[in-house]
Amino acid sequence: MSKYVKNLVAAEVRKRLTGVEDALLVNVIGLPTDKTYALRKKLRERNISLLVVKGSLAKRATEGTSLAPAFEGSNGSLAVCWGSTDFVQLAKEITEIQQDAQYEKFELRGGVMDREKLSADRVKDISKWPSRLEQLSILMGQVLCPGANLLSQLASPGGALASQIKQKGEETEASS
């Protein structure tokens, strides 16, 4: 491939990766066509993009971007995955797919998060973190808990008083 064509392809890859800050690198080489189709369909359903690219072209295309550390020391063909609701959810989805026996040739190679290169083991650790949605639900529980406790403490004496008044009213009705 001539240098001119390489530059054109690198520009196209750069354009497709514009705005991508965090991504995962996987190996899809060796997957049969039907499995590749099923994998891409599964990823699309989960709002994850997949781009297969030669490592040297990816290095050229991502020079000076936040994705550049991911391609340091990589060689051969790679697939870049990005998308999902957040990076942790992306890591969860990709590690789940890797464990699926249907995609035995699918291999997690690493990635980049906040301009930091990640190993495959580090990505597996990150996949165990709570996702953005889970973190928001934990935060809302922590925000609402003191208010619920205060409300129950304020309403408790009034409820006890109302119960006692009701009992006295029932006693007077029963005696009359």
27-43 pLDDT per residue, tens:
998 899 999 999 999 99
- Specify the pLDDT at position 138: 85
Q: What is the largest CA-CA distance in the chain?
A: 106
Neighbours of 160 (CB within 10 A): 10
- Specify the pLDDT at position 2: 83
pLDDT digits (tens, 9 = 90+) for 75-126: 788 999 998 888 999 999 999 999 988 888 889 999 999 889 999 899 999 9
Partners of 113 in the β-ladder: 116
pLDDT digits (tens, 9 = 90+) for 119-162: 989 999 999 988 888 888 888 888 888 877 777 777 777 777 77
- Specify the pLDDT at position 176: 67
H-assigned helices in the chain: 3-16, 33-45, 55-61, 87-99, 120-126, 132-175
**pLDDT above 90: residue 167:** no
Range with top average pLDDT, 3-12, 45-54, 74-83: 45-54
DSSP 109: E
